[in-house]
Amino acid sequence: MRGTSDGGTHALFVYGDEFRTKVKYHHMDSDKKPLHIGMCIKAELERQGRTSVWLANELGCHRTNIYKIYDKRSVDTGILFHISQILDYDFFRLYSDCLTHEHV
């Protein structure tokens, strides 16, 4: 799965409305808002050139549910796991990287 910061692969981090791509790990500073996973999902979907309708079809839900996911700062782990599989992107790594790696 992509989404790791190993071997030069970029990891996407989203705080509020700010999108940033870093080559190395990023530590959540106390002055930063928590990771906004819904925005991360939307950004990765767009990066892959896929649509919300496509993701809704893959998840077996209506596209309005996808828009609700984009607005969420946190997502149920089962749903996040399924989205990670569909997009072939490890969204859980974004949280792990915030916990285990120092500021670059």
Alpha helices (runs of H) in 12-76, residue ranges in sequence order: 37-47, 52-59, 63-70
Take residue 40 and report the two structure tokens written for it: 């991360």
Residue 1 pLDDT level (bands cut at 50, 70, 90): low
Q: Are 6 and 13 in contact (CB under 8 A)?
A: no
Q: Are 27 and 101 in contact (CB under 8 A)?
A: yes
pLDDT tens-place string over residues 47-72: 999 999 999 999 999 999 999 999 99
pTM of this prediction exceeds 0.75: no
Closest CA to 96 of 2, 1, 5: 5
Give the domains, in start order, of the chain with CATH numbers.
6-100 (1.10.260.40)
